[in-house]
Structure formats: structure tokens, C-alpha cells
Amino acid sequence: MKDTLSIEKYTNTINWISVLTFCYLLIACQPKIELPEYSNLKIADRPNILWLVTEDMGPYLAAFGDSTAHTPNLDRLASEGVVYPNLYSTSGVCAPSRAAIATGMYPSSIGANHMRTTSNMEITGLPSYEAIPPPQTRMLSELLRMNGYYCSNNNKQDYQFKAPLSAWDESNPYAHWRNRGENQPFFSVFNLEVTHESRLFEPYGIHKYDLRHYHSGDTSIAIRGKKMDEEEIPIHVAKDTDFPIPPYLPDNEVVRHDLWKMYNNIAEMDRQLGAILKQLETDGLLESTIIFFYSDHGGPLPRQKRLINDSGLNSPMIIRFPNKQFGGMKDDQLISFVDFSPTLLSLIGMKPPQHLQGQAFLGKYQSSEERKFIHAAADRFDGFTDAIRAVRDKRFKYIRNYRPEQGYYLPVVYRERIPTMQELLRLRDEGKLNEYQAQWFREKKEKEELYDCLNDPHELNNLAADPANAQKIEELRKEMDRWINAIGDYPNLPERELIDKLWKGNDQQPVTDDPEFTVTNGKVIISCSTQGASVAYKIIDSDKKEASSWSIYSDPIVISPGSSIKTVTHRIGFKPSQIVTYSIPENKVI
């Protein structure tokens, strides 16, 4: 058995060295791609912004070096846009990462770092709670709405807190820019869920719900949970394709079948994305819209999702600017998810608020310096807790394990529904994993890890103890300490203490105070005594006809006698107030 494992280890090592060497030569032989000069970017004062967000997907696209899946729409987007190979999520899982995008703040600074804070109470023994950012925090979409944008979300939220009703003009499976006011600029988000980890579960099948993007506004397509019949499943990738298998996974039929599902889902996602782009083009909006494509974190497979390795953090991103500006270029600067909020505000000409923890990489308020480091954290996932922090520059990653006495692998029940995970556990129990595959199942962790991500992209060889890297590891240690102090992170803080901190020692989630109304000079002023609360309202006219969506309050409102205002206030992380209706009698002059 030892000889067999040695041969397998040698063969895998040689194979991956060959692949890396080939990739290096391929890149070296290509003509040099110039970086975009964003100072020359020409966009409207308030451009439309379209976000096409896929889930659980690493850089498995031709534009990033992996041509396994046929993705003509993303290939076109890359040829007409800018490719960003160095985008990193703040966590290897969706909800904390989405919290960073929505707020422009690191999850571990606002209590959003533990995955699923409103569930798993029977395992953790903790109360349900939400992240509570500083009172000045507004969701990105709310800030855009306050600047006249129509904001639609189709349709995943999952921010580690409940979004205020003022966050979106509409957030549902059929939300679309087509529902906006005439000539109103829009920020529209479409979440493409077909690449999600759960789409690897058996029995395999494309969910009918996923297909809603083909049918703008067709409410009959949302059949959540149902899958196509087997003969209906679209097959985009041949099952006998020579799939690239990372060295931390075994090369067998079980793993290859999951890889086939993963790449087939990516190709299906490309078709859905293409349908949305066709709608944009049909509406004559392609050249007035900035298009972002990205994934909510890295890949869906075991030893990818939830981990703080690049396999869990690195997300592909493509941005297409109007009229194909900088088309075909590549920008290799480091970008973090916390940079999205300040960047979008910068693109519409709005100065990012000072409390944001990211920096703009585009627009009027683009940072004068590229970021030198990205940061990430891993804490609780469902019912299992760890405490890990990471910092990475363009080449090296430093990982600090706050629970070195605890093993790497967490037995997350949801993940164990993936056949590859079941296969890994079977081979582990039978002692048949090779050295690289077995690393994840070590019973203890090193306190510190250092990886040369350029020469060791799968982060298999810990260089922390090598004296040759003493200067680099000290640099990254200091940067991690600086970051933790700057954002007010408390790694390994017991979650019960975190809740006490968020709730200021109270034993229940705080509640937003009810709205208050004042009538002055014929206008209704709405206020709330809870600092940082947003105010959403609907007008109900004298015929009792109610507005279809919630408006965001910013200025006093003029309403006619006999009309009413339905109002709710909500600070992020607090429970929303009661819905309060303020009515103006028909015979009253205001």
C-alpha cells in the first residue's frame, strides 16, 4: 500500500507540475495585455448597472484558463470587457460574503461572520440573531435608491440580516429593470443559482425554478424544489470529458461525475446569463449599462466552499463597460468584496461614506493606490465552529488558526450530501487517501500557515517554518494584526459573547422604534428615534388604492386629504417596527 501511494503521489505531483508549467508557458508566450487606464473611461453621469451573480463557482471559465465548459456568452462578455482574476470573497460561503457586498464592511466587524445566525439554534444553543453594523450603515441598494435608481433583486438576499423594506424597489423571482419608471437609471441584480453546491446532490437535475431567467415576468415558472424529468435535463458537457481534478480530490468515477455536473451547471448558467443579456440588448440598453459578472465565492466542491483557501475565496469577475471600452483587457489588481459598495457609489458619482471598509477601484472616487492585501475569515458554518483568519498579497497567503487543537474538517451535514464528500469520507475511513487528499482530515492544525499561491495554487505545502520566508511571514503577521484592530474583529470570541456585544447586554434582539409623524407647512415629516433606522412608506390614496412597492423616505411628503401613509422603520440587525398608518382626514387642510 505504501508503494502504491508513493507512486500515486509521484504521478499526481508530476501531472500538476506539468499543468502548471504549461500554463506558465502559455501565459508567457501570449502578448502582454495592457492594464486599463480607467481615467479615460467614458460613462454616463448615472449609468445603469447590471449584476449577474452566479453561486459557488471558482474561475472555471475560458477567460480564466479553464475551457472545460462551453460558455459562449461569458466568452463574449470577456472579449468585450475586462477580466479580473484576483477578486476574493471575504468568506468561503455565501451569506457572510453577501453581507460584505451589501454593507461595504467586513463580516467579522459587524457580527455577520457566523454562517446561519437565524438557524441551528438546537445545535448551538444560541438565540436567533442578526448582524448589527454601525447606525450610519445603509445597504448599497438603499443608497442607490436614495439617488434615484430603480433597484431590483432577482431574487436571493441572504445577508445575515433581514433587509429593510426600503432596500429594494422589488426583490422577488421576477424582479427586473423593465419594471422601472420611464428613463429611470437602474441597478438590477440577477442571481443564477444553477451552479450552487446543492445542484451536485443526487438525484441530479436542473431545477425548474432556475429557468425563470429565460422568461422575464412569467410568474408561472417558479416551481421551487421541482426538477426536470431526466430526459429533459440539458446536457452541455460530455460525460467522458477529461476533467481537471485538483490534487486534493481523488481521481475516480464518483468525483468525475460530480465534476461533470459542476461543469454542466456552469454551461447551463451561461445560457441563462445569455438570455438576460439578450433582454438588455433587445431593450436598447446594452451600451448604457455597466455589466458585472461574478460569483459569490469560490467553488462548490469539498475542500473548496467554506474554506479559506483560494479554492473557497477566489471568484471570477468580468466587467463590461459601455461600447466595449477596454474590451479584451485584464486587470490583475487585488479586489475584495468590501470594495463593491464604494466602487458602485463611485461609478454613479457619489462619494463613498467614510465608515465603509473597502476602497473604490473604479469611478470618480477611485482609490489612488491599488490594495496590497485581501483579508478573509472563517468561523461557524451551520452547527460547527472554527476560528481562522487569512491575509493574502498577490503571491503569498498567511493563515492564522485560533483553534489549532481542532482539526481542519468540519462535518457539515449539508456538504455531506455531495457524493464526492461521501467518497472522501469512505476513502479516509479505509486509509486510501494519498498525502494531499488526507491533509484536510488532520486532527490538529498548525498555528500558522504560509503558502506561495503562485507556485502552490492549491495551498498544499506550508512554508511557515521555513527560515527563508521569515521576512514575508512577519510582514503578513503585522498586516493581519493591523486589520483585526482596524475593523474591531475579535477572533475566537465565543458567539454568546458576540451576541451580548451586539445586543448591548440585553437578552433579546433590539426593536426599531415606531415611526413618528409631524405635519408642517402642508407636508408630512416622518422620523424615528432609533439611530440609523431607515423609513419605508406606501401612499394609500382616497380610493384606498395602495402603492405596489415601498418607497424610501428622504424628504417631507405632500399627500392629499383622505389619503394615508403606511410606514415602517427598520435599523439593520434590529427587528422592524410595527407598520403604522397615518391618515389625513378628507376635510382637513394640511
CB 155 within 8 A of CB 173: yes
Cell, residue 480: 493581519
Integer Cα distance of 253 and 241 in angstroms: 12
Integer Cα distance of 552 and 343 in angstroms: 22
The single-letter DSSP state of residue 49 is: E
Integer Cα distance of 336 and 315 in angstroms: 10
CB 95 within 8 A of CB 112: yes
Note the residue count of the chain: 590
CA distances from 530 to 112, 136, 214, 455, 570 (A): 21, 11, 43, 52, 9
Cα torsion 271, 276, 277, 278 to 10°: value is 90
- The amino acid sitting at 135 is P
- Looking at 23, 29, 94, 151, which residue is catalytic? 94
Question: Does 94 qualify as catalytic in the annotation?
Answer: yes
Task: Tell me whether residue 397 is exposed, middle or buried, using C-beta atoms within 10 angstroms of its C-beta: 0 to 12, 13 to 18, 19 or more.
Answer: buried
Cell numbers 401612499 correspond to 539
Q: Is the bond preceding 164 in cis, omega lying within 30 degrees of 0?
A: no
> Pairing mode, if any, of strands 564-570 and 551-552?
unpaired
Distance of CA 414 to the CA centre of its chain: 19
Integer Cα distance of 464 and 470 in angstroms: 8
Catalytic site positions: 94
